[in-house]
Structure 1
Amino acid sequence: MTDVARQDYPDRDTLMRGLAELVADQLRAAHATKHRATLAVPGGTTPGPFLAALSEAELAWSDVDVLPTDERMVPELSARSNARLIRETLLRNAAADATLVHYHPTGSRLESVLRATCERVARVLPIDVLVLGMGADMHTASLFPGAPELAAALADDAPELVEVHPPGAPEPRLTLSARVLRAASVIHVLITGADKRAALEEALADGPVEAAPIRAVLSAPCPVTVHYAD
């Protein structure tokens, strides 16, 4: 995976603001080409400052669709909801007019609404700018090592979204499949801390994707950049 670019920053604040400026420029470029843009972003606590910085960028946000890279199957107002994090950090300030494509089911059975949710996601694909995180276990989005559904989520013919039960997690998740992630026009991986750097080095080495699902993204045919700060 020698084609993966790596950008180190002196501190996390510089990383978050620098990445926000870069992503904003790339969204403007996508919008200039096709008059609409699709952005996919992670949940969790690490990307919060990046999303907040991006919310201040001046661009045609009313023409931007925002996809969570994955979502926990919890109520949308739960503190564990990625949609809630995105609404509270990104969809404000200049970015208040962006459209969030959320994955929360409106029915009682996940299976009954998953197909409709996939169709909703498919309408805004491909992703123009994809920002991902990575865990110390080398998972990304909700592509977790050891998840029973991992092979299905990595398959070339996977649907847009796959239901995943991460080992030891308190609830199932929906994740964009590897097929969708790899089809993005440009990919950024945001990581912080020495444990993530060590995991990245391991992921960049040869090995099966199942053991390190981030490899599915690092080997994507589009430009991939890893952004890191201690």
Structure 2
Amino acid sequence: MIWHDYPDRDLLALDLAEVLADRLMSGLHHRERVCLAVPGGTSPGPVFDALSQVHLDWDRVDIMLTDERWVPEDSPRSNTALVRQRLLTGPASGARMIPLYADGARPEDRLDDLTRGIVPHLPIDVLLIGMGADMHTASLFPGADRLEEGLSDKAPILLPMRAPGAPEPRVTLTAPVLRGALDTHVLIMGEDKKTAIEKAAKLTPKEAPVACLLDGANIHYAA
């Protein structure tokens, strides 16, 4: 892990957005298109706000979520809606979003279609990801029904996942896809998450799923 401490959350959001923009611009110097993978939830919102205002060739950037709750986009729990509202706006509105949700009663019904849309954009150029206090990342939750499959080196690109305490099914990128990102940034805030990630570094991915991607990752932290 490469640790980056920030004096407050506002500065973290601004500086991290600048780092992500620099990495995207660097990628665009060498490739026609780049892929940015991002988390849902509340923590990345301020980072999205800052990043969306950076001027770069957004029309050459593909954005995908690391995971999604299986809810329609008009749900307040939709990560897709969060990204559209706070990242795909202003200068960044020219970016293209790769869907991780499609209409269907179950994620299993649409998994093949969604996977086909992801394949051309791998490996991920820049990965921004979070971690829960339970040491989950994306929707790789401790105790989830298909966690072992999701952590396997032979895992498919995308898996449906159901976990204790998660009110709806999820779809998630699997460990090999996340681990294969060319540049990884983990966003954590609060003493509880600092303690959790330090603990995770000493555990197996089955015990602490975030451990699957910590090797060489940049950790961005503010209390």
- Does TM, normalized by the shorter one, top 0.5? yes
- Aligned residue identity for 1:70: D
Measure, in 2, the Cα distance between the counterparts of 1:162 and 1:119.
13
Residue 209 of structure 1: aligned partner: 205
Deviations 1:180-216 (A, max 9, x none): 00000010000000110110110122x2211100000
Deviations along 1:67-87, one digit per CA (max 9) or x if unpaired, are: 101000011111100000000
- The secondary structure found in structure 2 opposite 1:210 is coil
Distance across 1 between alignment mates of 2:189 and 2:44: 10
Match of 1:133 in 2: 130
Residue 34 (structure 1) aligned with residue 27 (structure 2)? no
Q: Which amino acid aligns with 1:71?
A: E
Q: In structure 1, what is the equivalent of residue 70 of structure 2?
A: 73
CA RMSD of aligned residues (A): 1.0
Counting only pairs closer than 5 Å after superposition, residues 131-170 of structure 1 correspond to structure 2 as 131-170=128-167
Q: 1:110 to 1:201 in 2, by over 3 A?
A: closer
Whether the 8 Å contact between 2:63 and 2:97 is mirrored in structure 1 is: yes
Alignment correspondent of 1:218? 214
Distance 1:161 1:16 in 2: 28
* Structure 2 counterpart of 1:10, from 7, 10, 22: 7
Q: Which moved more, 1:100-109 or 1:138-147?
A: 100-109
| Residue 110 of structure 1, CA deviation | 2.9
Q: Partner residue of 2:111?
A: 114
The question of whether the paired residues in 1 share the 8 Å contact of 2:35 and 2:63 is answered with yes
Provide the aligned length of Structure 1 versus Structure 2. 223
The match for 2:61 is 64
Look up the SS of the partner of 2:110 in the other structure. Answer: helix
The 8 Å contact of residues 14 and 50 in structure 2, kept in 1 or not, is answered as: yes
Q: Unaligned regions of 5+ residues in structure 2, if any?
A: none
* Distance in 2, Cα, partners of 1:199 & 1:169: 20
Aligned equivalent of 1:183, options 176, 180, 183: 180
Unaligned stretches of 5+ in structure 1?
Answer: none
Normalization by structure 2: what TM-score?
0.97
Distance 1:109 1:144 in 2: 19
Distance 1:61 1:99 in 2: 8
The one-letter amino acid of 1:152's match is: E
Determine whether 1:199 maps to 2:196: yes
What TM-score do you get using the length of structure 1 for normalisation? 0.95
Which amino acid counterpart does residue 114 of structure 1 have in structure 2?
L
- Measured after TM superposition, the shift of residue 158 of structure 1 is 1.1
Q: What is the distance in 2 between the residues matched to 1:108 and 1:18?
A: 40
Q: For residue 52 of structure 1, report the CA deviation from its aligned partner.
A: 0.7
